Amino acid sequence: MSVAVLILAGLALLALGGELLVRGAVGIAEKLGVSPLLAGLTIVGFGTSMPELATSIQAAFAGSSDIAVGNVVGSNIANIILILGVTAVILPLAANRAAFKRDGIALAASSLAALACVLAGGIGRIAGIALIAALIGYILWAYLSERQSGDAAAQMHEALATDAVAAPATPLSKGTPALAVMTIAGIAAAIYGAGLLVEGAIALAQGWGVSEAVIGLTIVAVGTSLPELVACVVAALRGHGDVALGNVVGSNIYNVFGILGITALVQPLAVPQQIAALDIWVLLGVTALLLLFLRTGWTLKRWEGAVFLALYAGYTALLFLAPAAA
């Protein structure tokens, strides 16, 4: 099987797996009486991050910490300056102030946590447990504050869960056994797809003569972030800029606390020197820039989106062209 087929098939299975997992798990949660708000904060959050999780775990077991860590750091960078850049150029994104004040703190904290892990030179099981605990704390904080306020952020998370079970379905697919099969099939597809993607990424790095970290930071990271890109563009075209913004901020928080945490708990990770020297600082910089842009007017404007896209083009070129990145 060619490298291109491995990567494309892997990405397709990851996207399919994440979609099936979210629909099946949210459907089961609905039948069990779980509130849409809690389902949106937990099941949908984890489900949309399933491509990153499956890929990082597969890469860790394959002995490629470069791809595992690069996938998370690269996805978070791409989420901000590529996905939000594209989306903001289509439609300026207005932030929900109350939600973003809370989520902005969590976003900054997650980026600083990633920095601490990188500077430590590795992410062991103790660090993994700490990251997972931070994610649980964030979910509880968000759930309690949104349940009490019933604000636009709560409505957004409820809408995410509602949309997950509102897709066209046959009567059979609405039954609990079918939903369970859908959930299991989603997990299986994501795991198998991640295996194909990691195999293709390692082969591509060898074929192109670049580090696995570069492939993890770019092709793998963007590929696993494609569901967020589609979701954000669709939300923007429908006039729901706050949903698009919430998708990206939530994804970045989950990626660090959840994906890195779970992956390190399963298989401790070494941090590539390249990521410690460059990419983690790029992540901190673009996170700070996003918070600054949103704080000045509470809207991500078109010109700011264009700045993000220019930054991503420059960053990607640097990774592939700079001698230090080779």
Contact between 254 and 53 (Cβ < 8 Å): no
Mean pLDDT over each residue of the chain, to the nearest integer = 86
Distances in Å between the alpha carbon of 235 and those of 26, 135, 299? Answer: 20, 25, 15
Question: What does the pLDDT read at residue 151?
Answer: 59
120: helix, strand or coil: coil
DSSP state of 93: E
What is the DSSP pairing of strand 269-270 with strand 122-123? antiparallel
- The 3-state secondary structure of 244-294 reads HHHHHHHHHHHHHHHHHHHHHHHCCEECCHHHHHHHHHHHHHHHHHHHHHH
Please spell the DSSP secondary structure of 112-175, one letter per residue: HHHHHHHHTTEE-HHHHHHHHHHHHHHHHHHHHHHHHH--HHHHHHHHHHHHHH-S---TGGGS
Q: At residue 12, does pLDDT exceed 60?
A: yes
| All structural domains of the chain | 3-325 (1.20.1420.30)
Averaging pLDDT over each range in 12-16, 53-57, 108-112, which range is the top one?
108-112
Question: What does the pLDDT read at residue 163?
Answer: 61
Q: Which residue carries 């918070």 as its tokens?
A: 291
Cα gap 29→283, rounded to integer Å: 34
Question: What does the pLDDT read at residue 156?
Answer: 62
43: helix, strand or coil: helix
The 10s digit of each residue's pLDDT in 183-238 is: 899 889 989 998 999 999 999 988 988 899 999 999 999 998 888 888 788 778 87
Of the pLDDT bands very low, low, confident and very high (cuts 50, 70, 90), residue 240 is: confident
Cα gap 116→137, rounded to integer Å: 19
The 10s digit of each residue's pLDDT in 252-308 is: 999 999 999 999 999 999 999 999 999 999 999 999 999 999 988 889 999 999 999
Average pLDDT over residues 12-40: 80
Of the pLDDT bands very low, low, confident and very high (cuts 50, 70, 90), residue 43 is: confident
Q: Which residue carries 């990271």 as its tokens?
A: 221
Q: At residue 325, does pLDDT exceed 50?
A: no
Burial of 285 (0-12, 13-18, 19+ CB in 10 A): middle
Q: At residue 165, does pLDDT exceed 70?
A: no
